[in-house]
Amino acid sequence: MGIAVFSSSICAQEIEARTYSNTPIGINFLTAGIAQAKSGSYTLTSEVLNLTHIFDVGGQSGKLTIVLPYGQLTGSTSVGGRTVNASTEGLSDPLIKAAVNLYGAPALTLDQFKDYQQDLIIGASLTASIPWGKYDDNQLINVGANRWFVQPGIGASKAIGPWRLELAGSGIFYTSNTNFMGGNSLSQNPVYSAQTHAIYYFQNTAWISVDATYFTGGQSYVNGNPISGNQENWRFGGTMSYPIDKRNSIRLTASTGAYSRTNNNYDLYGISWQYRFGGGL
C-alpha cells in the first residue's frame, strides 16, 4: 500500500537548484511547464504554473512562490492478490514556498545588482502544501493528498569563479489524512533530506547544474499500523536553463532514482518556460 503516497512523495522529493541565490528585488517570474514522473506502471503527468516575487526582507533578498499544479495519474499494480487501477486527473495540492537569505544576498535594485558579486549566501526556507487537490476517499491513489505538509529548510551557496556550490537540508512534516479509503487514518513519519548542487554559469547567463539528494524516514501507517518501512532514497539529476532574451528563458530538468530501500524509485522529466517582469525591466 506504499503506492498510496506515490504522488505526494514525488512532490516531497523535488530536487531544486538555486533556492538560495540573489536576484534584484521587485522582479517577478511567471513559469509554465510540464513534468512527467514514472514509477513502475504508474505515470503522473503534471502541468504546473508558478508565480515568484522577489522582495526585501530586512536588507536581504527573499522570494515568495505560489505553485498551482494539475495532474493526470494512470497505472495499475497488484496489492494483496488484486489489481489496483489508477485513472484520475484534477487539481493537485497547491504549494506556497518562501525563501529568505540571511547572509550574503543584499536586497538590491536592478541597477545596483549589476555590481553585485556573490561570495557566500546562507538562507532559510519554508514550504507548505494546501490540501485543495482532487481527492476521492474510495480511491487508493489520488492527485490530491487530503492532508497538509510543511517543510522548513536551511542552506548555503558558495561562489567559486563561474561555479556555485550549494548544500541544503530540510524536514517534511505531515498531518494525517483522516478520510483514507472510507474513513481510515493515514499518517506518515517526517522525511528528512539533504541535497547538493554544482552549478556552472555561462557568460550569456545560461546555467547548468548537476544535482543529488538523499531522503530518509517517512514510514506510513493506517490506523496506527505500519504499511511501509522507512524510506532511504538517493536521487541524481540535472537542470539546464537557457535565456531566449532578457525576459524569457527555457528550462529542462531530469532526475532518476539511484537507490531506494523501499522500491519507490521514479524517473522524472520536465520542461518549462519562464517569463521575467517588473523591477525596472
Q: 212-261 pLDDT, tens per residue? A: 999 999 899 999 999 887 888 899 999 999 999 999 999 999 999 877 66
Q: Domain 2-277: what homologous superfamily?
A: monomeric porin ompg (2.40.160.40)
Residue 15 has what pLDDT?
Answer: 78
Instruction: Render pLDDT for 24-81 as a digit per residue (tens, 0 to 9).
Output: 999 999 999 999 998 878 888 999 999 999 999 999 999 999 999 999 988 876 665 6
3-state secondary structure of 113: helix
**pLDDT confidence of residue 13:** 60
pLDDT of residue 12: 56
pLDDT for the residue numbered 113? 95
Distance from CA of residue 195 to its chain's centroid?
12
pLDDT band for position 84 (cuts 50, 70, 90): low
Would you list the domain boundaries of the chain? Answer: 2-277
Q: What is the pTM of this model?
A: 0.91
Q: Is the dihedral of CA 265, 16, 276, 97 positive or negative?
A: positive
Q: Summarize pLDDT for 101-118 with one digit per residue, the tens.
A: 999 999 999 999 999 999
Q: What is the pLDDT of residue 140?
A: 80
| Residue 191 in this model has a pLDDT that exceeds 80 | yes
Mean residue pLDDT of the chain comes to 90
Distance in angstroms (rounded) separating the CA atoms of residues 251 and 48: 13
Pairing, β 177-180 against β 120-129: unpaired
Least confident of 32-41, 59-68, 170-179, 184-193: 32-41
Question: Could you tell me if 181 and 140 are in contact, meaning their C-beta atoms sit under 8 angstroms apart?
Answer: yes
Where residue 1 falls among pLDDT bands split at 50, 70, 90?
Answer: very low
Torsion-angle region of 58 (φ positive above 0: left; ψ -120 to 50: alpha; else: beta): left
